[in-house]
């Protein structure tokens, strides 16, 4: 195989470009959510995760080394008559479980940059770049530049009220 590549220099270019694009073109990570109304108050739960952490609960997201995926949280039929009566509102991240960033305890600069989040609140800017927020969807880019763990909180609010519910597991980045 290598000898044939030496005879055809263009095959090296094709192989190189294929390797480069294989590092960039990554399918989005999809995380499907439901509202569990059998609890009081209702709770958000993960029912499927296309990139779950091995041996961990389904709500842990594993981001493979050398990838920069979009992460999508989906709450199907949010605020529709046959769907959950909650809409997705925001996502925030932190470096310590249930300890959110503040002025005195900001996110590392690389982490804030990777998620396009505020260093002092941890809130991901869902209007930056191609990030998006809709009643039934949160989509954001994870640049995954280093090996670290973040904890995240998804917030949903009642469609016709002010009650809020959250889900707060973690994302495991493996870096570049």
Q: What domains appear along the chain, each with residue ranges and CATH number? A: 27-174 (2.60.40.420)
Q: What angle do CA 114, 116, 120 make, to 5 degrees?
A: 105
Sign of the CA dihedral with 36 first, then 40, 42, and 47 last:
negative
Task: Look at phi and psi of residue 55 and say left if phi exceeds 0, alpha if psi is from -120 to 50, else beta.
Answer: left
Q: pTM of the predicted model, to two decimals?
A: 0.83
pLDDT confidence band for 174 (50 / 70 / 90): confident
Q: What is the pLDDT of residues 54-95, one digit of tens each?
A: 999 999 999 999 999 999 999 999 999 999 999 999 999 999
> Measured between alpha carbons, how far is 115 from 129 in angstroms, rounded to an integer?
11
Which of 41, 23, 3 has its CA nearest to residue 161?
Answer: 41
pLDDT tens by residue, 21-34: 444 456 899 999 99
Least confident of 8-22, 47-61, 76-90, 91-105: 8-22
């Amino acid at each position: 195989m290598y000898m044939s590549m030496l005879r055809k220099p263009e095959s090296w270019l094709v192989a190189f470009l294929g390797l480069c694009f294989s590092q960039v073109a990554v399918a989005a990570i999809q995380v499907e959510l439901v509202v569990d109304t059998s609890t009081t108050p209702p709770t958000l739960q993960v029912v499927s995760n296309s990139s779950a952490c091995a041996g961990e609960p389904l709500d842990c997201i594993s981001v493979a080394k050398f990838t920069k995926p979009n992460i999508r949280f989906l709450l199907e039929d949010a605020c529709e008559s046959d769907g959950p009566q909650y809409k997705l509102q925001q996502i925030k991240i932190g470096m310590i479980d249930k300890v959110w960033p503040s002025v005195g305890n900001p996110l590392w600069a690389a982490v804030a940059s990777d998620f396009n989040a505020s260093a002092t609140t941890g809130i991901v800017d869902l209007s930056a770049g191609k990030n998006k927020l809709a009643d039934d969807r949160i989509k954001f880019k994870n640049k995954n530049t280093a090996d670290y763990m973040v904890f995240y909180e998804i917030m949903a609010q009642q469609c016709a009220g002010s009650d809020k519910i959250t889900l707060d597991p973690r994302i495991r980045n493996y870096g570049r």
